[in-house]
Amino acid sequence: MSARRWWPFLALALLVGASAFPFYWAIVASLTPEARLFQDPSLFPTHIVTDHYRALFTERNFWLPVRNSLIVAGTTTAFCVSIGALCAYALARLEFRGKAALLGFVLAVGMFPQISVVSPLYLLLRELGLINTFPGLVLPYLTFAMPLTVWLLVGFFRQLPAELEEAAMVDGAGRLRAFWEVIVPLAVPGIATTAILTFVYSWNEFLFALSFTLGPERQTVPVAVALFRGQYQVPWGQILAAAVVATAPVTLLVLAFQRRIVQGLTAGAVKG
């Protein structure tokens, strides 16, 4: 019995170790004095300093990119989920001509390599006067995140029994009301999952953020970190501290929503 049982745990331990180690290393390094980083690297921090973090927020004004990222990722997620949910509901439930083609098109748009559209998008945004603005980042993010949102949500909505909305409509609710009162509460786990993915995508996005911003006042976290410069050397300690700060909200978000997802799944049981 034990021979069978410990294998999965070993595999899990390896997986967790491999994924968590870089993050752990970043945390350790971000707390190690700059001088020790290359001379005396240690798995366990012996000499903890918070210099890098302090420098991050005092010298480099790291709040600005964090704020920018929150605005861009938050707005993108809000638009994606609200518009995407309605699109997905229509695609999941309503019968209309060209539905399959539309779904295919949505998927195809999501498959475009980003690099191929950077130049045309740049020209477009420049014409619209949106370079170095928040809308100038949110709009391109929507074009990439929305297909993902729609596809995920179509799947979630299709899983919900159609009879629930039919019951709601017979009970006197219009389609939108039925959607809002019955479908949305039941799809919360799916919507939360989708929102997380969209948020993480927009939070981490680098290429557009680098191409469509001009200065620190609109730069997002990944761009700001990549552009960190020291006078004589690469400020590794600060970069790693910034990486920790950038990863933390996403990690916290996933942890917070994870509970909601599990809750939603168990409470939403239709038949016992």
Name the residue nearer to other proteins (CB basis): 59 or 171.
Answer: 171
**How far does CA 218 lie from the centroid of its chain?**
19
**How far does CA 90 lie from the centroid of its chain?**
24
Name the residue nearer to other proteins (CB basis): 214 or 270.
Answer: 270
Residue 267 near other proteins by CB under 8 A: yes
Q: What is the rounded CA–CA span in Å between residue 88 and residue 14?
A: 38
Task: Say if residue 37 is exposed, middle or buried (CB neighbours under 10 Å; 0-12, 13-18, 19+).
Answer: middle
Residue 170 near other proteins by CB under 8 A: yes
Residue 172 near other proteins by CB under 8 A: yes
Residue 167 near other proteins by CB under 8 A: yes
Residue by residue, DSSP assigns 61-104 as -THHHHHHHHHHHHHHHHHHHHHHHHHHHHHHH---TTHHHHHH
Residue 94 near other proteins by CB under 8 A: no
Residue 163 near other proteins by CB under 8 A: yes
- Piece in contact with other proteins (CB under 8 A), picked from 1-9, 99-107, 171-179, 241-249: 171-179
Q: What is the rounded CA–CA span in Å between residue 193 and residue 88?
A: 15
Name the residue nearer to other proteins (CB basis): 188 or 224.
Answer: 188
Residue 268 near other proteins by CB under 8 A: yes
* Radius of gyration for the chain, computed over Cα atoms and rounded to the nearest angstrom: 23
Pattern 238-257, other proteins, x by CB under 8 A: --------------------
- Piece in contact with other proteins (CB under 8 A), picked from 104-112, 151-159, 180-188, 210-218: 180-188
Report in angstroms how near the CB of residue 87 gets to other proteins at its nearest.
21
**Contact between 121 and 140 (Cβ < 8 Å):** yes
Name the residue nearer to other proteins (CB basis): 48 or 269.
Answer: 269
Residues near 140 by beta carbon (within 8 Å), at least 6 away in sequence: 117, 121, 125, 208, 212
Q: Which residues bind other proteins (CB under 8 A)?
A: 95, 161, 163-164, 166-174, 177, 181-182, 185-186, 267-272
